[in-house]
Chains A and B, each alone.
Chain A
Amino acid sequence: MKIVENLYAYVWRGRDNNCNSYVFAGALAGGSHVVVDPGHLVTPYYQESGLDRLSEGMDRDGIIGSSIGLVVLTHAHPDHCEAAIALREEGRAMVALHEADEAGYRMMGGKVDIYLKEGTLELGKDKPVSIQILHSPGHTPGHVTIYWPDRKVLIAGDCIFYRSTGRTDFPGGDARALQQSIAVLSGLEVEYLLCGHAYGNSGIITGREAVQDNFRFIKNFFG
């Protein structure tokens, strides 16, 4: 599903838990794509092919699913990053992750090519797409969110969902840090809030008022 310009969303509709994936189509030199959170390679319980479904979805949108140049991981939980390990092993993509999540990723067999720091990530050569990487810890120590100011898009990973937030009871989770991260994100101008999971709705919240309403609900409910 096209969100805006060359940004596509792939909402997970399987029976198992898996994340939503987002793709900056043709963003890199040579026209290869940037995938944010490719999810599970195969889901653990029902053995659903996460990566194959993503590739098929991309193919349906006219994006060559096999041509991925870079995977950006919001964090290193298997439902977000497992397919990245396979993509890198097959030599199909480099992987970018915040250094604070590397230890957990390495335990799963993952290798990181680029450490993401808070700052600007330029995708493309001639007319690069300029996005902001924000360090948003809480769900994990190295969780990042991705903000595209020109299009007012926020890819929130597992920081916030529709009427909910990411869990903080996993190793490295920190409720106070998550609260602070959400406070920072709520100050951004956002028209498209793209969440890491289809919990409660598709995980795609559109319109400034709806996004602000979601932030207000979370702040009121979770303090």
Chain B
Amino acid sequence: MEDEGIKSAFEIAMERISGLPRLTPEEIADQKEKELRPIGEAMAKRYMDGLITSDALPRELEKHQGEQGRIVRRALIRSLCRSIDLDDPEAAFTALAGIMLLETEKAGFFYEAGENLRQVIRRFERETEEKSREFAVLAKQRLAGLGISGSAVQPNLDQDENWQRESARMREAYEPRVADLRGKLLRKTD
């Protein structure tokens, strides 16, 4: 029996895509970037979560060679850079240490960057602590005026509008310094 008219699903699919235009080199590169970037980002997350140790991070990256390795590496470093902010100093230094593990030949630059980051975060934390003490005293005075006082009372400054404004002001003052540092790191590693 003749079965020339019967085609497999694969054959049908191939026929259909044969009519599509070929991807340009830019589109191919873009496609590769889209496929490989999440690998680098996931590697960064696992490192930040402690699932990849410092020793293992370069080895994990070495699993990806050539063009693929370059894309994964860039995504990894960019992700680590994004973890450098004022909210979580410990995470910021972990991220910086991770970048240094991957950029051993630029150790001097990263050591200096680390010192700068340490100084900015230390100043921010010191100022936040001093100001929060001042605001806690003011909040306690306001509560005492309402008839609420004593050693059991600790005002929650997060619900204090004045503190929220002051906290935002301090963040606005320090955040650009951290952003500047992030930018320098990205330029150095690109």
Residues of A near any B CB (own CB < 8 A)? 27-30, 69-70, 94, 96, 99, 111-125, 128, 130, 132-133
Contacts and interface: CB of A to CB of B under 8 A. Distances in A.
Nearest to B156: A112
A121 B150 contact: yes
Given A114-B143, A114-B156, A115-B156, A70 B148 contact: yes
A125 B144 CA distance: 7
Contact of A118 (B148, B152, B156, B159): B152
A121 B152 contact: yes
A69, A114, A119 pick with most chain B CB within 10 angstroms: A114
A28 B152 contact: no
Q: Which 10 A-B pairs have the closest CB atoms?
A: A119-B151, A119-B152, A29-B147, A133-B152, A28-B147, A120-B150, A122-B150, A115-B154, A121-B152, A122-B149
A40 B147 CA distance: 26
A142 to B, nearest CB: 13
A128 B147 contact: yes
A28 B146 contact: yes
18 contacts: A29-B145, A30-B146, A69-B147, A70-B146, A94-B148, A112-B156, A112-B159, A113-B155, A119-B153, A120-B151, A121-B149, A121-B150, A121-B153, A122-B147, A124-B147, A128-B149, A130-B150, A132-B152
Contact of B147 (A27, A99, A133): A27
B147 to A, nearest CB: 4
Contacts of A128: 147, 149
A111 B159 contact: yes
A120 B147 CA distance: 13
Nearest to B153: A114
A119 B155 CA distance: 14
A120 B144 CA distance: 13
Contacts of A111: 159
Contacts of B152: 116-121, 132-133
Contact of A114 (B145, B151, B155): B155
A114 B150 contact: no
A114 to B, nearest CB: 6
Contacts of A113: 155-156, 159
A115 B155 CA distance: 6
A163 to B, nearest CB: 30
Contacts of B150: 119-122, 130
A135 B14 CA distance: 71
A100 B124 CA distance: 27
A70 B148 CA distance: 9
